[in-house]
Amino acid sequence: MVKGRLNLHEAIALVIYENNNKPMKPSKILNRIIERDLYRKKDGTHPDLHQIHARISNYSEGNKKGNSEYFRRTNEGIILTDKGIKLAEKFYKGEHCQE
């Protein structure tokens, strides 16, 4: 069980991890985030598809911002890199849960 607030890239990683790291389309990732209420913006609304695409790009292999590389784009969809798996496991196992 995930408690506490996740960042959007953490929520994306968790959703893909729970899908056994099988490729997922960004729209499916967004739907799961909304269904499980894993992330809300500061104004209380859910993210939109544009934000999902942007966050995946910002944390994908070869990003130009110097961010960690958690995601890999494939023809079938988005999967996690080894770093992405480690990130998701922290939340899946409850290491970052807050009471």
Q: Where are the domains of the chain?
A: 8-92
The residues near 69 (Cβ < 8 Å, ≥ 6 apart) are: 59, 60, 61, 62, 63, 81, 83, 84
pLDDT at 8: 97
CATH number for the domain whose boundaries are 8-92 = 1.10.10
pLDDT of residue 1 exceeding 50, the answer is no
Strand partners, 24: 78
pLDDT band at 72 (very low <50, low <70, confident <90, very high): very high
Nearest-10 crossing angle of helices 82-92, 8-18: 90
Strand partners, 80: 71
pLDDT of residue 67 exceeding 80, the answer is no
Give pLDDT tens digits for 6-51: 999 999 999 999 999 999 999 999 999 999 999 999 999 999 999 9
